[in-house]
Every structure is written in structure tokens, then in C-alpha cells.
Amino acid sequence: MTMIARCAHDAARVAACAIALHTASSAVFAQPETLLPRRTMVGLANTVSGSRALANLIDFTGHNRDRDAAEFAGTYLESELFARKAREYGFSDVEIKRYKGRPVWDGIKGELWVVDPVMRKIVDFKDIPTALAAGSATGDYEGEMVWIENGSDADAYKDVDVEGKIVLTEASTGGAFRQAMKHGALGVVNMNSPRKYELPHAIQWNSIARSARSAPDKGFTFNISGPMLEDIRRLARQYGKLTMKAVVESAWRDADNEVITAVIPGDGSTDEWVYYSAHVFEGINKQGAADDGSGAVTILEAGRAILEAIKKGYVHRPARNMRFIWVDEFSGTFAFLDDHPDELAKVVADINIDMIGQAHNKGNNSDRLYRMPDSRIHFVSDAAEEFFDWLAATNIEHVHTRNISYYFSYPIVDPNGTRDAFRYVIEPFYGSSDHQVYNDRGIPAILFNHWPDMAYHTSHDRTNLMDATQMKRGALLTAATGLVAAGAPEVEPMQVASEAMTRGEARIAANMRSWMRHLSAMKSGDGELGAFMRDFHAAARAWRKREARNVLSTLELTHGSTSTNPDADAAGINALASQMRDRLAADQAAIDVFASNLAASRGVSISTPSETDAQREAKKMVPRWKGARPAFVRVRARGLRGFSSMEVRNFIDSQRDAMQIRDAVNSEYAMTYGIITLDAVVNYLKALEKSELIELMVK
């Protein structure tokens, strides 16, 4: 009897046979090792289910729906579903936490018609909830349609009478509504889609009021698709003057901020935590299968798989506790973290999932891992990256093995899913989801995501674009990364430290290559060459410090039961971190050799400029927070683009001076946003001081 036949014959041996089959196949296909033993990875791979994740997704966001008014007074459908499933799967301490929310707009009725000279319904809120912009006010509106090319442009209204009329336009939603109402219009019918050619029928979620306080007491906006816009304009060309009618009923309702949470307890050897986060709400009205129903069901399925893997003996219970949190994006995370300050102090990392699981070929996208910013560097990102690498190595067909099989070497596919290859990209930090809240509070956090997403924030973000195979793979990546961060006993601390060290060396090599390329592109006679060389050396120091911190973060794995010899592991980790720091001299020598020979080949010289007064003053300036760091910082950062102002704040630790902060931020973002100037950093620190958020000490 073959091994496959024996496995099929004895159901009790299926799990063990899955591992045996994989071991046997390894003689043919060389499988890369991971930070988890092969037995654990194979066990997890045969436990996670994309079909279950997709079924849960369909249950709560199978279609865009008008939320029942009773949910506002009771419990949201999503909260009930996730709490029930978490209990069913065996999670502990399952709760629905309620925090005071704010009034939210609730659409009740919304119909858009052409009523004269023909009768035609254009769209109905009950059919497509995205069609009625949040904030639209109750009323029956009827008036002549007026076409304006760009209704958000004030100049477009010159010599156009829109008083008592309905404006048809293609523009930004909020801007068009404000301008139209300012000029006396009844309301707006607007097409606003960033993907109008890829998904022409999709209608984007849009709002004309962020809160009840800013909501208009009259007026409306209907969001329509490109074909709907063309239908209306075709009628106008055919009949000339059109009369349109909008019927709107809405209300502002008090709404709790509900957070669903559940726990997989650690083994009791440490009181530290690893968090899994995903937003199940993005405001109470907006819904979406990918954004972010997919993240919510993915962490649920990852948790179910971990519990089953522990039960079946594929992995032992981790040292750390694991908390799963389903929130209203940002607001729910703030509320929960503010409510649990003692536990928050013991959280070592967060894994945030926001949009994952679309079919790669259908969506023309790939999975993404977004690392934390340099200020929060932590081994959890390298652990995740390794599992992404492993999944791609085993689920992309390789020409080298075509004489053995035209297929994946170890397929992770779901019976209800595609057989798409696994594509992925490792990206630097990007915010705009709940992991940013954790990073802002000093907790290293990473993001899993797929991109691009053609249906992002539109009526077409539905389950038909999702793929059970990619959802299975996403849950596997999520579970495996969390088990390493939580310190399952199968994890070797020194192996994780070596992963952090070697991947750190690769990052430094990539940084060096990028800066050398930039130096080569600078003009030979440019007087800024010397200043750039000063920054290059400073960046090299920052990179080495960054990667040494990353290696040292693996000392966390010497806490609790993960390490069988904590002292030996700690000594080894510290030795690797020292090696990382000690290689700075070789980096700087390479920089000098490259620069001097480049200059010689061009017949120019590079001289290091003298230290400026501004640099000397910056070295004396040490910022520190006055009290706890605020959740929101609303101080304008002139000259600091993108996430660079966030990193300035993150590096404030009462130890680094302004010059060190500038050099660290510049080392991270100079090749992205351009050179980060010292003036911009100092001016921002002074603005924070003026706002009484920090004080600038003199050393």
C-alpha cells in the first residue's frame, strides 16, 4: 500500500501522514527551513482554512447593506458574529467592549430620479448604499439639472445659474457639495472614482459631513458611477432640459464604539503580550469585503488554527499571551488601548491585517508586508518576511524543477480557491491603519495588506473578488508570525537573532547601494558633495544602530519558557549585536573608497565641510515629552514630508539630541523624500515646544 493509500485508509493518521508526505516530498523538492520547525509549518498549513475564513466573510459582509436601526440601540451584527465565532473556536476571555462613541449618520432612504421629460430611476440607496453620501439631509429635492465640468472649482460657477437646481458633475465630493450649496443649488449628483476605467460601474464611498456638528441642515449628494453619469448626460443631449428629483431620509444616531476581543493564553511563564489587530468597522456605515472584512476574518482564522495546532501537538502553547482585537479603525484602537494601560506596557508587538486575500490574478495585485519605521525596529518584521519568502519559494513554479513537476513544490491552496502563484512585496513603513497607533505608542507593529485594490472603498469591494487560497495563505502567514513573536517553545532565540542580523546586513547593503547611486548621480562640481558625504557617514552610523537594536529585540525571547538556556542565548544575542555595531568601520571605509575614487575618476575633490553653528546648537538640544505622549499631535511640520515628522516624534526619548534625531530620520527618508534638513527638524521641535508638548533641554 502506498503512503497516500495508507493515509486515505486511516483517517486517524491523516495529520501525521501530511507531515510524512511532506518529508517524503522533500527528497525531491528541497524545502527552505523557517523559524518554525517543518513539522509545525506543515501542521499549520494543513490546519488553516481559507474556506472557513471566506464563509465568515460572506456571513457578515456578503453584500453592502443598510444597517438596521435596532443595531444602534443594541449590538452590531459584526460584534455578535465575531464574539460567537471566537467562543465556538475555543478562544478565552471573549468580550464585546463598549466605549462612548459619537453620533453617526444613518441613511434610511435615498432615491435619485429623472422625472421630466422622461421618468427614469438612476439609483436607489437600498440597492447600492454607497450611492447616498453620508451627511445628506432629509428632504424631497426637485429641480433642473445643470452640468458643471468640475463642480469643486469656484470658477466653474461663473455665468452659470445653479440657484434651486441640481448640479451634475465629476469632481471631489466634498468640494463639489460646498461650492454648489454656496451658489444656491439644491444638491449634487457626482461621479468621483479613481478607477473609472478599471471598474467603471463601481461607486465610491464618500461623505459630505464628518460629524453631526458639521452636517448641513439641507442638501444632498448622490454618488454615481461613470455609466450612470453618461446615461444622464445622454438623456440631456436627447431631450435638452432635464428635471431631476432626489428623495432623502436620514438620521444622526448615537452609536457605541464596540471592540470585540479574545485571548489565547500563554503558558504562564511571562506576563507579556502579542496583539493581533484588524478593523471590523471603518465608521459604522462603510462596509467592505477586502477593506477590512478580510483582515478581521484572517486573524480569527489564524487564532482558530493556532488553537487547533496546539491541541493536535503541532506546536506547544507559546510563552506569551496573544490578544485578538477587532475594532472600529483608529477610534476603537485608541479606546481599547486607553482602557488597558497596564497591559499595554507589556505588549511587545502588534500584527495588523488590513486588506488581504484577493485573488492575485483577478485583482492584478500582490500581498504586501509593511515593516515598522526605523524607530520601532523589531524582529517580528524579519520573522514575517521569512514566512513570506518561504510561501513564495514553495508556491511559485520554478523552472529548475520542471523536469520533476510543473507545479508548486509545496502547494498551499484551498479546495474552494484558485491556484494562483503567491506574489509579494516587502515595503517600508506605511501608516493609514491601526498599526500606526501602536507604533506611535512605542509598540512595534507591522501591516499585512494586498495592493493594488481596484475596488478599494467602492461598492465593488465584495466577496466575489476574494480567493479562499489567498485567504488561507494570509492566515498561515499571520499564525506563523505570531507564534514566533509570542515565543512558542519550538522557536530558537539564536536562530531568530541570526535572522535579524543577516536580514539587517542585507538592508544596510541596500541602503549603501541606494546612497552610492545617489552620490554617483550628483554633479561633479556640486558644492553639496561634501555635505552629502557628511550625511552618508551619519546615515551609516544610524543604520548600524538600527540593526543592532533589531538584533537586541530578540532578547525578549529569553523571557519565559521559549529559551531553555536564557543566559547563553542572551550572551549570544549580545555578541551578534556587537558584531553588527563593529562593522561600522568597514562600512565607512567602503564609503570613503567609493567616494574618493569616484571623485578621482571625475577629476574633482570632495572636502568635508566644517561643522556649522546650527549643527553645534542642535547637538546641545535634547527634546523630551512633557508627561505622556499625546495620541494625536496636530502641530504643523513645515518641510517634513510624508512620515518624516512622525519619526522625529518617535525618536524623542530624552537622550537623543536634535542632530542625532535629524540624522536618524534623514538616514531613513532621504532617498524617499529628499534630504531632511536640520532646519526643518529643529523648527518642528521648537513648534512642539511652543505647543507645550515637549521641552528642549540643553546638554
Identify whether residues 677 and 622 lie together within a single domain. Answer: yes
Identify whether residues 206 and 80 lie together within a single domain. Answer: no
Identify whether residues 143 and 246 lie together within a single domain. Answer: yes
- Specify the DSSP class assigned to residue 75: -
In a domain, 516, yes or no: yes
Identify whether residues 289 and 411 lie together within a single domain. Answer: yes
Q: What is the pLDDT of residue 9?
A: 38
Residues 545, 534: Cα–Cα separation, whole Å: 17
Among the candidates 578, 609, 640, a domain finishes at 609
Number of domains in the chain: 4
159: left (phi over 0), alpha (psi -120 to 50) or beta: left
User: Which domain CATH number covers 406?
Assistant: 3.40.630.10
Identify whether residues 468 and 566 lie together within a single domain. Answer: no
User: Which domain CATH number covers 506?
Assistant: 1.20.58
Confidence of residue 557 (pLDDT cuts 50, 70, 90): very high
Side chain identity at 413, as an amino acid letter? V
Strands (E) across 331-467 are located at: 347-353, 366-370, 424-427, 445-451
Contact 484, 31 (CB under 8 A): no
Structural domain harbouring 170: 104-253
pLDDT surpasses 90 at 696: yes
Strands (E) across 397-483 are located at: 424-427, 445-451
Cell match 558644492: residue?
527
pLDDT surpasses 50 at 486: yes
Residue-wise pLDDT tens digits, 310-366:
999 999 999 999 999 999 999 999 999 999 999 999 999 999 999 999 999 999 999
Residue-wise pLDDT tens digits, 113-125:
999 999 999 999 9
pLDDT surpasses 70 at 38: yes
User: Which domain CATH number covers 130?
Assistant: 3.50.30.30
In a domain, 8, yes or no: no
Confidence of residue 29 (pLDDT cuts 50, 70, 90): very low
Confidence of residue 523 (pLDDT cuts 50, 70, 90): confident
Residues 264, 305: Cα–Cα separation, whole Å: 11
Contact 518, 669 (CB under 8 A): no
In a domain, 404, yes or no: yes
Among the candidates 462, 485, 508, a domain finishes at 485
Residue-wise pLDDT tens digits, 279-317:
999 988 899 999 999 999 999 999 999 999 999 999 999
Contact 314, 39 (CB under 8 A): yes
Side chain identity at 548, as an amino acid letter? A
pLDDT surpasses 60 at 13: no
In a domain, 334, yes or no: yes
Identify whether residues 288 and 437 lie together within a single domain. Answer: yes
Residue 157: strand, helix, or coil: helix
Percent over 90 (pLDDT), the chain: 87
Identify whether residues 548 and 619 lie together within a single domain. Answer: no
Among the candidates 485, 515, 532, a domain finishes at 485
Q: What is the pLDDT of residue 2?
A: 32
More confident residue, 26 or 439: 439
In a domain, 24, yes or no: no
Give mean pLDDT, residues 14-25: 41
Establish whether the linkage from the previous residue to 117 is cis, with ω within 30° of 0.
yes
* pTM for this predicted structure: 0.94
Percent over 70 (pLDDT), the chain: 95
In a domain, 381, yes or no: yes
In a domain, 293, yes or no: yes
Identify whether residues 530 and 564 lie together within a single domain. Answer: yes
In a domain, 461, yes or no: yes
Identify whether residues 294 and 200 lie together within a single domain. Answer: no
Identify whether residues 36 and 169 lie together within a single domain. Answer: no
Q: What is the pLDDT of residue 30?
A: 57
Give mean pLDDT, residues 523-534: 80
Residue 367: strand, helix, or coil: strand
Residues 231, 243: Cα–Cα separation, whole Å: 14
Identify whether residues 325 and 454 lie together within a single domain. Answer: yes
Identify whether residues 235 and 294 lie together within a single domain. Answer: no
User: Which domain CATH number covers 639?
Assistant: 1.10.10.10
